[in-house]
Amino acid sequence: MAHSTASHRFPRLFRAYLTAVVLAAAVALALLRPAAPLAWPALAVALILLTASEASAVSRSEGGLVSLGGALDVACVLLLGPVPAAWLSLVATVVSQGVVRRQPLSRVAHDMAAFSLAVLATGFAFLGLGGRVGHLELPRDLVPLLACGGVLFLCRASAFSMSIGLSAGPDPWRVWRRTLRGHLAHHLSFLAFGAAAALLYLKTGPWGLALLVVPALLAGRAFRHYVELRADLRGFVRALSEVIEEVDPYTRQHSARVARYAGQLARELGRPEGEVEEIECAALVHDLGKIGPQNQHILRKQGTLSREEQRTLREHPVVGAEIVGRIRALRRAALVVRLHHERPDGRGYPLGLASEGVPLGARILNVADAFDAMTSDRPHRRALTVEAALGELMRGAGTQFDARVVRSLVHLHQQGRLERIPSPSSEELAALRIWPRRAHG
């Protein structure tokens, strides 16, 4: 995991944090010495593997990098000890990020210091609980091994969260929670791989490691393809969300704003990151069902809709869900699209379900959709203030809107953590209505 260097939200705090991490690493590496003579051939091989692993790391959509570096750090700690492993991590980071990837100096400095400190803490946790360098026996060493992996994850996750929180945002604690949910499973697999590599080396010697090369390469390639497919899927969903703009210029960027609000609400409600991503995808395409020709004159109509027009427009969640549901990876998002106009009192559409029959994602999308609609200019009215919109939502809580979701939105606003996204003014909307394609260009 590595941080993203954008324009820093808190430049002074970030500089203070970066200085503290670099100084701590410098002091620790200057004072600590290896407990045993160094095996230079083993160090050279480990350095090559670590550098190659970090240089080929895969970027995750939610931020950070994933590589086999964590697994190799564990193996180095078990086989060489904490101090040599920390130096190897430092040098590999400098070469891979500074020379190969040409990352900014602040990122290289942060990661070389944070990663080396994490490896030191990992090694001393392993030794402190009875582990022995160059020896690994299971189940005798299971507790030290688990502590080794846990400390490494906590240290790397904390460094990643601090750097993201002080640079790009959101706050470090929220990033840490997202990291815990999103990276823990991968880290556990890396711990197992690192321990297996160490055991294989201890039992068969360096040639035994060759047995792990092909599986490791195939696993890395498969994971890279998985990440790329997920990124392509999100790009496809965003492209679908832009289709509605050609039909209804008044909702320009509406879906993108709703997705941002829905994501904030889902995280505030403690949903897993995978579910948050599904809700955001559903929000991006929740109005896709409006692209049909039967809706075009309705969407551009200035006056009150007739009952027949209302009935036609109310079919858009079903139409949109049928389109989205054709993509297997989006079928759960399609259910959210289908049910996002249901109400707690059972008076919503298309099925008239009460709260207990509606997924939380659909209830979140319902609130986010209404909030953005109220805080955006429309042909027949100006946008409400945030306070007025929240008041309307609170009045409808429990009947039109899910009460818990509304409370979460109000809490976000009261805490100053609701990230408002600007919407076009009435004048800009009028220009979009007259010259929609010119406005796009």
Map tokens 């498969």 to a residue: 222
Are domains 11-204 and 246-430 of this chain identical in fold? no
Phi, psi (degrees; rounded to nearest 5) at 130? 100, 5
Q: What is the pLDDT of residue 4?
A: 40
Map tokens 């609130």 to a residue: 367
**pLDDT digits 0-9 by tens, 346-405:** 999 999 998 778 999 999 999 999 999 999 877 667 888 999 999 999 999 999 999 999
Are 276 and 284 spatial neighbours (Cβ–Cβ below 8 Å)? no
CA distances from 164 to 9, 28, 110, 183, 185 (A): 10, 24, 12, 15, 21
Fold category of 11-204 in CATH: Arp2/3 complex 21 kDa subunit ARPC3 (1.10.1760)
pLDDT band of 435, cuts 50, 70, 90: very low
Listed in sequence order, the residues at least 6 apart from 185 whose beta carbon sits closer than 8 Å to its beta carbon are none
**pLDDT digits 0-9 by tens, 187-230:** 777 778 888 888 888 888 777 767 777 777 777 677 777 777 87
Q: How many CB atoms lie within 10 A of CB 2?
A: 28
**Domain boundaries in the chain?**
11-204, 246-430
Q: How many CB atoms lie within 10 A of CB 241?
A: 23
CA angle 290, 312, 392 (to 5 degrees): 75
CA max distance for the chain: 86
The residues pairing with 345 across neighbouring beta strands, listed in sequence order, are 354
**Mean pLDDT value across residues 1-22:** 68
Cα separation, 213 vs 209, in Å, equals 7
- Percentage of the chain exceeding pLDDT 90: 27
Are 386 and 409 spatial neighbours (Cβ–Cβ below 8 Å)? no
The residues pairing with 66 across neighbouring beta strands, listed in sequence order, are 58
pLDDT band of 170, cuts 50, 70, 90: low
Candidates 74, 212, 82, 46; CA nearest to 145 is 74
Burial 13-25 (b: 16+ CB within 10 A, else e): ebeebbeebbeeb
Phi, psi (degrees; rounded to nearest 5) at 345? -85, 5
Cα separation, 82 vs 29, in Å, equals 10
Burial of residue 422 (CB within 10 Å: 0-12, 13-18, 19+) is exposed
DSSP state of 49: H
Q: Which of 25-39, 136-150, 164-178, 360-374 reaches the highest mean pLDDT?
A: 360-374
Candidates 372, 367, 374; CA nearest to 409 is 367
**pLDDT digits 0-9 by tens, 330-346:** 999 999 999 999 999 99
Are 264 and 419 spatial neighbours (Cβ–Cβ below 8 Å)? yes
Tokens found for residue 90: 């430092």
Mean pLDDT value across the chain = 80
Are 47 and 41 spatial neighbours (Cβ–Cβ below 8 Å)? no
Phi, psi (degrees; rounded to nearest 5) at 63? 110, 150
Q: What is the pLDDT of residue 60?
A: 61
pLDDT band of 5, cuts 50, 70, 90: very low
- For domain 246-430, the CATH architecture is Orthogonal Bundle (1.10)
